Amino acid sequence: MDVRFTKMEGCGNDYVYISGFDFRLDPEKKPEIVQKLSDRHFGIGGDGVIFINPSEIADFEMEMWNADGTRGEMCGNGIRCVGKFVYDSGMTDKKEITVESFGKVKYLTLYTDEADGKEAVTSVRVNMGEPILEAKDVPVIAGSSPVVAEAIHIPLQKTGDHEGSGGDYKMTCVSMGNPHAVVYIDSTDDLEIEKIGPLFENHERFPNRTNTEFVEIIDREHVKMRVWERGSGETLACGTGCCAVCVAGVLNGFTEPRLEVRVLGGALLIEWDREKNLVWMTGPATTVFEGTISI
């Protein structure tokens, strides 16, 4: 079966996009297909695969899969690219659209520009909804709720000749439809994320595993972040993670509710409207290339 795809990225967080309107794949085979397509050596390459499907409760549905073949509840960078995909391909002519992800509806504003005589989406602002702070809903096993600067011990682990980065950390836990543990460190440049990331992701205190954001504060309106994503490893950006970092910064008193989060792939502007308890994310969406692959 030949399937058309579009490779897209938001701040370097890259996925393979497939229209579920045009191609219907066997659900039981999807985990294997996702792993194949995501492989950067033997497939197209990406942090996962996103299927764009019809929805009964929104304009479109985003069905997001991690590179390891597991389902993901939400992807902030991914949903911006969904907005670009459906507009640029002519699936909608609206610049205000709704997208369902894991049963939850997000509201997108599409910003366009004209290039080569064609109007295309360049950036997207997303109403990411309310941050979830109750420990049981994140979910995280904790001594208090919400979980703000709570101690967590990461046991030292050895894998073959490699030694993990164990130690004691303080985490602030936020869900933006998927779980996040935000950890503040002195320098993200010196972080051996490939050692510590998996230990957080699979820690027993996270029943559904977790994404982990390691944050260096620049000033009250700017931070640097590196992220270890559940099921994908280190990625160049994580939209929901940036939202979690904004919320966590306010809860800890470190940063303002309007925050630029600098990631390896660029920067996202995050705003937490405390009065309405809504988080807004604004950032780029880019098409890398298109093609056809045999599945």
35/58 Cα distance (integer angstroms): 28
pLDDT of the residue at 214: 98
Whether 180 and 174 have beta carbons less than 8 Å apart is answered as yes
- Other Cβ atoms less than 10 A from the Cβ of 31: the count is 15
267/284 Cα distance (integer angstroms): 9
pLDDT of the residue at 116: 78
pLDDT of the residue at 194: 95
29/11 Cα distance (integer angstroms): 29
Whether 151 and 168 have beta carbons less than 8 Å apart is answered as yes
pLDDT of the residue at 160: 53
Q: In the beta sheet, which residues pair with residue 105?
A: 100
pLDDT of the residue at 117: 84
Residue ranges of the domains in the chain? Answer: 2-128+283-294, 135-276
Output the six-digit token pair for 123: 């950036």
Q: Which CATH class is domain 2-128+283-294?
A: alpha beta
Catalytic residues: 75, 238
55/144 Cα distance (integer angstroms): 37
Task: Establish whether domains 2-128+283-294 and 135-276 are of one fold.
Answer: yes
pLDDT of the residue at 157: 67
- Other Cβ atoms less than 10 A from the Cβ of 208: the count is 12
Reading the chain (295 residues) residue by residue, the pLDDT tens digits are 899 999 999 999 999 999 999 999 999 999 999 999 999 999 999 999 999 999 999 999 999 999 999 999 999 999 999 999 999 999 999 999 999 999 999 999 999 999 778 999 999 999 999 999 999 999 999 999 999 999 999 987 655 554 556 789 999 999 999 999 999 999 999 999 999 999 999 999 999 999 999 999 999 999 999 999 999 999 999 999 999 999 999 999 999 999 999 999 999 999 999 999 999 999 999 999 999 999 8
The CATH number fitting domain 135-276, selected from 1.20.1530.20, 3.30.390.30, 3.10.310.10, 1.10.540.10: 3.10.310.10
